[in-house]
Amino acid sequence: MERDLIITMSTPLIKPDQLEYLINQFKKELTHFSEEEQEQIISAFRWAQDLHSHQKRASGEPYIIHPLHVARILIEMQLDAKAVTAGLLHDILEDTDVSRQELKDRFGPDVLHLVNGVTKINIVNVKNKTVQERETIRKMILAMDKDIRVILIKLADKRHNMHTLQFMPVEKQKRIARECLEIYAPLAGKLGIYSVKTELEDLSLKFLKPEVYDEIKFFLSQKKAERAEFLEKVQEEITSAALKEEIKVKVKTRAKHFYSIYQKMKNKGKELNEIYDFLGIRILCKTQTQCYTLLGLVHHLYKPLRGRFKDYIAMPKENGYMSLHTTVMTPSGKPLEVQIRTHKMDNTAEFGVAAHWAYKEGKNELDSFNANLLKKLRDINSEESTDFMNSLKDDVLTDTIFVFTPNGDTFELPRGSTAIDFAYHIHSDIGDHCLSAKADDMIIPLNKPLRNTQTVSIQTSANAHPHLNWLRFVKTNRARSKVRAWLNKHDNDVVIDRHIVAKKTSAPPPPQQQKQESEEKPVQNKMMDTSKIGVSIDKERNIMIHLAGCCNPTPGDRIIGFISRGRGIIVHRDDCSNLKGINDFDERKIDVEWENYSDKATQRFKVNARYVADLFSEIEGAIRKYSGHLISGSINETDRGDLEGFFTVEMNRPDDYKKIAKSIRTIPSVLNIQKMNQF
Percent of the chain's residues with pLDDT above 90? 28
φ and ψ of 293, to 5 deg: -65, -45
Please name the amino acid found at residue 489: K
Nearest CA to 663 among 628, 638, 637? 628
Distance CA 531, CA 541 (A): 24
Q: Where are the alpha helices (DSSP H) in 542-603?
A: 585-588
Question: How many CB atoms within 10 Å of residue 525?
Answer: 12
Q: How confident is the model at residue 59 (pLDDT cuts 50, 70, 90)?
A: confident
Q: What is the pLDDT of residue 228?
A: 83
Residue 451 belongs to domain with CATH number: 3.10.20.30
Helix (H) or strand (E) holding 646: strand 643-651
**Domain stop point among 561, 594, 627:** 594
Give the domain range for residue 287: 217-354
Residues paired with 325 in a beta bridge: 310, 339
Question: How many CB atoms within 10 Å of residue 147?
Answer: 20
N residues, the chain: 679
Asked if residue 191 is part of any domain, the answer here is no
- 615 in the same domain as 588: no
Average pLDDT, the chain: 80
What is the average per-residue pLDDT within 223-230? 82
- Which is more confidently placed, 376 or 78? 78
| Sign of CA pseudo-dihedral 578, 581, 582, 585 | positive
Nearest CA to 181 among 272, 258, 90? 258
**Domain stop point among 551, 573, 594:** 594
Residue 608 belongs to domain with CATH number: 3.30.70.60
Asked if residue 50 is part of any domain, the answer here is yes
Is the pLDDT at 29 greater than 90, yes or no? yes
pTM of the model: 0.65
Q: Are 83 and 77 in contact (CB under 8 A)?
A: no
- 345 in the same domain as 300: yes
φ and ψ of 456, to 5 deg: -115, 135
pLDDT tens digits, residue range 401-460?
888 888 878 788 888 899 999 999 899 999 999 988 899 888 888 888 898 888 999 988
- 550 in the same domain as 519: yes
Residue 39 three-state SS: helix
- 610 in the same domain as 633: yes
Q: CA 649, 654, 660 angle in degrees (round to 5)?
A: 50
Residue 294 belongs to domain with CATH number: 3.30.460.10
Largest CA distance in the chain: 98
Q: Which residues belong to the active site?
A: 94-95
Is the pLDDT at 225 greater than 60, yes or no? yes
Q: What is the pLDDT of residue 356?
A: 60
- 27 in the same domain as 158: yes
**Burial of 617 by CB count in 10 Å (0-12 exposed, 13-18 middle, 19+ buried)?**
exposed
Look at the chain and report how many structural domains it folds into: 5
Distance CA 254, CA 337 (A): 10
What is the tally of helices (H) and strands (E) in the chain? 26, 23
Distance CA 383, CA 141 (A): 13
Q: How confident is the model at residue 16 (pLDDT cuts 50, 70, 90)?
A: confident
Q: Are 493 and 504 in contact (CB under 8 A)?
A: yes
- 501 in the same domain as 479: no
Distance CA 291, CA 285 (A): 7
pLDDT tens digits, residue range 550-588?
888 876 678 888 887 667 788 888 888 888 888 778 777
